């Protein structure tokens, strides 16, 4: 009976891990599309300089908000994976064992890539804002 409960929890942890990974991908796509739309608005000649400054400030805020969203989603993703690893060991399953997975890479991860996109976007908006103000 206890093993059945652990197996169900393992399944939930695996589903949560997949869900969080999909959410990170979706959030990054929404961020890129929103940033592209804002850039398109600035690039158009119909927007006044004052409105370009407002759009740049909004773009910077958007980058910071998405950074926080992606960061939190990444923490949930890691927590779900760690719990799945613990349950796999307890059940003597091998799916999450290190023997059958790619070696861990602390720098080149999906979490760092999605956060880097937001950081680069923030820097980009700061540069545009400074260019408009100077």
Domain locations along the chain: 2-133
Q: What's the whole-model pTM score?
A: 0.82
Mean pLDDT of the chain: 88
Q: Give the separation between CA 54 and CA 48, rounded to whole angstroms.
A: 10
Judged by average pLDDT, the poorest of 17-26, 71-80, 94-103, 114-123 is 94-103
Closest to 129 measured CA to CA, from 55, 56, 48, 63 = 56
pLDDT tens digits along 73-105: 989 988 988 888 888 888 888 777 667 776 776
31 contacts 11 by C-beta, under 8 angstroms:
no
């Amino acid at each position: 009976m206890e093993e059945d409960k652990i197996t169900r929890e393992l399944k939930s942890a695996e589903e949560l891990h997949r869900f969080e990974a999909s959410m990170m991908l979706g959030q990054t796509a929404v961020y890129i599309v929103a940033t592209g739309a804002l850039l398109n608005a600035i690039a158009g000649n119909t927007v006044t300089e004052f409105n370009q400054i407002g759009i740049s400030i909004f773009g910077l805020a958007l980058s910071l908000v998405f950074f926080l969203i992606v960061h939190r989603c990444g923490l949930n993703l890691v927590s779900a994976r760690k719990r799945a690893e613990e349950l796999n060991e307890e059940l003597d399953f091998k799916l999450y064992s290190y023997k059958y997975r790619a070696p861990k890479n602390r720098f080149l991860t999906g979490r760092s890539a999605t956060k880097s996109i937001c950081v680069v976007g923030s820097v980009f908006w700061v540069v545009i804002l400074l260019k408009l103000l100077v």
